[in-house]
């Protein structure tokens, strides 16, 4: 069972989490930011991971530090849980519809962090949440994980639906990439011999 416990404590946030890559989609998430909670719950359920996560952050300032630091902590937890990445499928992709929104999510657990974010959220806010923080989360997550991540919006006019398609799609694509390839379960999925 690829399970880790981690924490990240700074002057701005105090994050504790437990992640199981091989879960059932169970979650307990409390970041102090309602929209981020909702997105992480969707990511976890649709990825089939188990996640317990709490964050006490300086949300009285705004949600920026909380969103970025949760992305960092979660990315680090995935990297630690996968270890040397032996046996993983490595790649995953999902074209995810959410009502009028359609988002292509593709991942490569390459050890090379890269984010291509071709997403246009038409409003500045979803409730009280700054929509620019969606990109901030995925940038922090991909950097700290060592993940190549492409998010490409094909359609959509509702900011909530577009953001939801991103989080669900990344969860589904990541589940594929983290899955053990039974034919190659003792191999590093690279001609380099290391990821």
Average pLDDT per consecutive 10 residues, the chain (195 residues; last block may be shorter): 95 98 98 98 98 96 96 98 97 98 98 98 97 98 98 98 98 98 93 91
pLDDT at position 1: 74
Report the DSSP beta bridge partners of residue 14: 9, 56
| Distance spanning both ends of the chain, measured CA to CA | 20
Enumerate long-range contacts of 24-31, CB under 8 Å, 24 or more apart.
Answer: 24/48, 24/50, 25/49, 25/50, 26/50, 26/51, 27/51, 27/52, 27/53, 28/52, 28/53, 29/53, 29/54, 30/54, 30/55, 31/55, 31/57, 31/66, 31/70
- Give dist(CA 66, CA 168) in Å, integer: 20
3-184 in CATH: which number? 3.30.230.40
């Amino acid at each position: 069972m690829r399970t880790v416990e981690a924490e990240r404590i700074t002057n701005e946030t105090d994050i504790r989490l437990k992640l199981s890559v091989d879960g059932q989609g169970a979650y307990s998430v409390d970041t102090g930011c309602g929209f981020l909670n909702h997105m992480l719950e969707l990511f976890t359920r649709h990825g089939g991971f188990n996640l317990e996560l709490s964050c006490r952050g300086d949300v009285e300032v705004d949600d920026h530090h909380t969103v970025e630091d949760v992305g960092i902590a979660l990315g680090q937890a995935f990297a630690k849980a996968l270890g040397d990445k032996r046996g993983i499928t490595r790649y995953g992709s999902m074209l995810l519809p959410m009502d009028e929104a359609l988002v292509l999510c593709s991942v490569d657990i390459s050890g090379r962090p890269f984010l291509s974010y071709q997403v246009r959220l038409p409003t500045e806010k979803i409730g009280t949440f700054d929509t620019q923080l969606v990109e901030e989360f995925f940038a922090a997550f991909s950097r700290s994980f060592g993940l190549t991540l492409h998010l490409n919006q094909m359609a959509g006019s509702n900011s909530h639906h577009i953001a939801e398609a991103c989080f669900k799609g990344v969860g589904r694509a990541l589940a594929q990439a983290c899955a053990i390839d039974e034919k190659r379960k003792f191999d590093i999925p690279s001609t380099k011999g290391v990821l």
